[in-house]
């Protein structure tokens, strides 16, 4: 389909973004301390000018699905309860600070609904609107329902603790991030010069979702320009990966390789930016998770990348107009992207 504006002439839509990578959080870590670490990362990102900060999957606690937890009270302590995650004593300060700083956040947590359902969830909080504008529940739950028979195994019991999200992959527009974004009321119907110039179109994934191309493609077909993906990826889990003879070093190298492979290739094939944020480091001084938080362009190249496996802000200024050549010339039938406000 033709366009009135060549990709090379598309006006810039600049946006400063950050990934807030979070290092080791232990089973015994105090939740208030962990929350304060997230707030420090948010403040550091805000100082760089970031208007959007992504936090990891299950950012508020250790990665508890690695344990078989028989005690219901302990299990419940890892969850946020009820509909309004912004109001919980475990989270309130983070959302308040985001509002004060004028920075949008996407943050992952374990959700327990009032009627007793459990999900691995993330929300997108708009500082400008002062509310959660979208919630996503993880679709691809990895691991097993039952713990491994070997008592020395590192488990992955997400299928035990969570239900699969059923809402699918719904892209959404975020107001207030990009200067001069066109609104439907300001654009001329059928005027192709408005294509790709509305508010940013964003999609959310959680960890294992990033390995499945259909998740990306469903977002891609809605014209998504920016994918947000928090994760906890173990660097060493021979029982899960079925590679008992592999060294810890090789296992970790493989985990990094596959992480970057899926993030970079899917960003390229959907001509979108992506941000990914790790929970990483050595949880309980024993369980290694990879870092590798990064910001990737629509050409699949890494723009900025974490240098540590600890708390770290990864920052970049991106131009969403750079999504345009891929979407336009590869022929992405993205109606949402073409219309500034559909």
* Contact positions vs ligand CDT (CB under 6 A): 57, 142-143, 156, 207-208, 211, 231-233, 240
Residue whose C-alpha is closest to residue 228's, from 191, 183, 193, 276: 276
User: In this structure, what token pair is assigned to residue 314?
Assistant: 């990864």
Mark whether 207 is an active-site residue. Answer: yes
280 catalytic? Reply is no
Cβ closest to ligand CDT, residue 184 vs residue 241 = 241
Phi, psi of 274, deg, nearest 5: -145, 150
DSSP 107-128: EEEEEE-TTS-EEEEEEEEETT
The least CB distance from residue 81 to ligand CDT, in Å, is 21
Looking at the Cβ atoms of 203 and 326, the one nearer to ligand CDT is: 203
8 A C-beta contact, residue 290 and residue 278: yes
CA 311 to each of CA 41, 104, 308: distance values in angstroms, whole numbers, following the listed order: 7, 19, 8
Residue whose entry in the numeric block shows the structure tokens 């006006």: 11
What is the gyration radius of the CA atoms in the chain, in angstroms? Answer: 20
Q: Which residues in the chain belong to E strands, given as ranges?
A: 14-21, 52-54, 79-81, 104-112, 118-126, 131-137, 172-173, 201-206, 226-231, 273-278, 281-283, 287-289, 294-296, 302-305, 312-319
- CB nearer to ligand CDT: give 142 or 300: 142
Is-contact 228 205, C-beta < 8 A?
A: yes
Nearest distance in Å: CB 213, ligand CDT: 14
Structure tokens at 194: 């408005």
Q: Catalytic residue among 16, 57, 106, 312, which?
A: 57
* Nearest-approach distance from CB 22 to ligand CDT, in angstroms: 14
In the structure encoding, which two tokens stand for residue 45, read together?
A: 């990102």
Nearest distance in Å: CB 298, ligand CDT: 23
Reply yes or no on whether 57 is catalytic: yes
Shortest spacing between CB 263 and ligand CDT, in angstroms:
11
Q: Which of 122, 207, 276, 294 is catalytic?
A: 207
Supply the minimum distance, in Å, between the C-beta of residue 271 and ligand CDT. 23
Closer Cβ to ligand CDT, 36 or 250, answer by number? 250
Least CB distance to ligand CDT at residue 151 (A): 19
Counting beta carbons within 10 angstroms of the beta carbon of residue 125, is it exposed (0 to 12), middle (13 to 18) or buried (19 or more)?
Answer: buried
Helix (H, G, I), strand (E, B) or coil at 206: strand
Q: Which residues, in sequence order, are CB contacts of 116 under 8 Å at separation 6+? A: none
Catalytic residue among 138, 252, 260, 327: 138
182/207 with CB nearer ligand CDT: 207
Tokens of 296: 């990737």
Q: Nearer to ligand CDT by C-beta: 142 or 281?
A: 142
Q: Which is nearer to ligand CDT, 31 or 258 (CB)?
A: 258
Q: CA torsion, points 206, 230, 111, 218, in degrees to nearest 10?
A: -30
Query: Annotated catalytic sites, by residue?
Result: 57, 138, 207
């Amino acid at each position: 389909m033709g366009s009135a504006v060549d990709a090379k002439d598309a006006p810039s839509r600049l946006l400063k973004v950050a990934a807030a990578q979070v290092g080791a959080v232990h089973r015994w870590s105090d939740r208030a301390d962990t929350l304060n670490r997230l707030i420090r990362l948010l403040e550091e990102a805000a100082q760089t000018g970031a208007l959007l900060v992504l936090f990891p999957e299950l950012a508020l606690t250790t990665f508890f699905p690695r344990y078989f937890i028989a005690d219901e009270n302990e299990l419940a302590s890892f969850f946020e309860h009820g509909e309004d995650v912004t109001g919980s004593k475990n989270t309130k300060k983070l959302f308040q600070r985001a509002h004060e700083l004028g920075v949008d956040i996407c943050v992952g947590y374990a959700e327990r609904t009032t009627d007793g359902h459990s999900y691995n969830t993330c929300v997108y909080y708009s500082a400008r609107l002062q509310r959660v504008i979208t919630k996503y529940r993880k679709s691809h739950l990895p691991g097993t329902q039952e713990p491994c028979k070997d008592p020395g195994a590192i488990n992955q019991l997400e299928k035990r603790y969570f239900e699969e999200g059923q809402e699918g992959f719904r892209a959404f527009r975020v107001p207030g991030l990009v200067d001069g974004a066109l609104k439907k009321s300001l654009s001329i119907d059928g005027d192709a010069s408005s294509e790709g110039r509305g508010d940013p179109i964003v999609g959310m994934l959680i960890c294992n979702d990033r390995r499945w191309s259909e998740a990306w493609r469903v977002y891609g077909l809605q014209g998504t320009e920016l994918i947000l993906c928090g994760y906890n990826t173990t660097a060493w889990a021979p029982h899960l990966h079925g590679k008992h003879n592999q060294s810890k070093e090789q296992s970790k190298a493989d985990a990094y390789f596959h992480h970057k492979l899926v993030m970079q290739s899917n960003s390229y094939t959907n001509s979108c930016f992506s941000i990914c944020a790790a929970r990483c480091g050595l949880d309980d001084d024993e369980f290694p998770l990879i870092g590798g938080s990064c910001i990737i362009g629509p050409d699949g190249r890494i723009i900025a990348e974490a240098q540590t496996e600890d708390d770290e802000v990864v920052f970049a200024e991106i131009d969403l107009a750079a999504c345009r050549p891929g979407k336009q010339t590869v022929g992405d039938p993205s109606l949402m992207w073409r219309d500034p406000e559909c």
